[in-house]
Amino acid sequence: MATEKDGLVNQLYSHVPPPTRRLLSFGDGDGRREAAPALGDSESIEAMLPQDRVRIVVTETDTATGEWLRETLSAHPLVEIVGYAHDGLEAAQMATQLEPTVCVIQSELPGMNGYQTCELISLAAPQVSTVVLEENSSSIDPRGPMRAGARACVKAGTDGLELLETISDIAVMQERRHTREFALVTDATKMPVAIAVSAAKGGVGKTTLATNLAVTMAERHGDETVLVDFYSQYGDAALLLNLAPRRSIVDLAAQDEELDEELVESHIMRHESGLRLLAGCADSDTGYEGLTLEFIAMLLSLLRKRYRFIIFDLPPLLNPANLYVISRCQHFLAVVNFFELTTLRDTLTLLQNVVGKYIDKERIKLIGNRVCPQNQYMVEEFEEAAGQTIYHRIPDAYETVLASVNSGEPFVTGAPRTPISASVRALADMITPARVRQADVARTRSNAASTLWAKATALLSARR
Do residues 77 and 45 lie in contact, with contact meaning Cβ atoms separated by under 8 Å? yes
How far is Cα 314 from Cα 206, in angstroms, rounded to an integer? 9
Pairing verdict, β 269-270 and 79-85: unpaired
Instruction: Give how far Cα 333 sits from Cα of 209, 312, 361, 362, 423, Å.
Output: 10, 10, 12, 11, 15
Pairing verdict, β 309-313 and 392-395: unpaired
Tens of each residue's pLDDT in the chain, 464 residues: 444 444 433 443 333 333 333 333 333 333 333 333 333 343 433 333 334 678 999 998 887 878 888 888 877 777 888 999 999 999 999 999 999 999 999 988 888 899 999 999 999 999 999 999 887 755 566 677 778 888 888 887 777 788 888 888 888 888 888 787 777 777 777 789 999 999 999 999 999 999 999 999 999 998 999 999 999 989 999 999 999 999 999 999 999 889 999 999 999 999 999 999 999 998 766 666 778 999 999 999 999 999 999 999 999 989 999 999 999 999 999 999 998 889 999 999 999 999 988 999 999 999 999 999 888 878 989 999 999 999 999 999 999 999 999 999 999 999 999 999 999 999 999 999 875 554 454 544 555 556 666 666 667 766 66
What local confidence, expressed as pLDDT, does residue 21 receive? 33
User: What's the distance, CA 115 to chain centroid?
Assistant: 34
Half-sphere exposure of 134 (CA within 13 A, CB side): 15
What local confidence, expressed as pLDDT, does residue 188 receive? 73
User: What's the distance, CA 299 to chain centroid?
Assistant: 15
Nearest to 235 by CA among 283, 285, 181: 283
Cα radius of gyration rounded to whole Å, the chain: 30
Do residues 280 and 313 lie in contact, with contact meaning Cβ atoms separated by under 8 Å? yes
Instruction: Give how far Cα 197 sits from Cα of 100, 225, 262, 273, 336, Å.
Output: 47, 15, 26, 20, 11
Do residues 167 and 182 lie in contact, with contact meaning Cβ atoms separated by under 8 Å? no
96-112 per-position pLDDT tens digit: 999 999 999 998 888 88
Question: What domains can be seen in the chain, in order of their start residue?
Answer: 4-29+51-176 (3.40.50.2300), 189-447 (3.40.50.300)
